[in-house]
Amino acid sequence: MLSKVLVPMDDSEPAGHALEYALENHPDADVTVLHVVGVPSMMMGVAVGLTLEEDISEAAAERAEPVFERALEIADDRDREIETIVGIGHPARNVVDRADDYDTVVIGAHGSDRGRSTRRFLVGNVAETVSKRAPIPVTIVR
């Protein structure tokens, strides 16, 4: 029996499905939702603003609020409680680095990596990386 489940979550539909799956299929487990706020990259994006904040942790927590609100709604609809944690950095690396504290990872599949291999297109880069590198079982939910 699994006692601790990690669910990486962003604002995507597949991430919501992953949380639903974890709550429904692991009714006795403690479920933790992880939202990772990225670091600046060559592509810039929202993460650049994070580096301009006085308190990066507080800013990351603020950016995670909408994702956690949705996660709490999903859990509440199933009469379940969840924990939430914020990570800063690369999403896949954050998940893999935390995996030893859990029995399994349940992650949503994404199809956002256009122009890459068919497998990455169907599964998603983060999910694929986590499934290859995590030291525990990983379930990818579509």
User: Can you give the residue ranges of every domain in the chain?
Assistant: 4-141
Residue 102 phi, psi (nearest 5): -130, 165
Q: What is the pLDDT of residues 86-126, one digit of tens each?
A: 999 899 999 999 999 999 999 999 854 444 444 444 457 89
- CATH architecture group of domain 4-141: 3-Layer(aba) Sandwich (3.40)
- Token readout for 122 is 């169907």
pTM (two decimals): 0.85
Strands 104-108 and 138-141: parallel
Of residues 138 and 119, more confidence is placed in 138
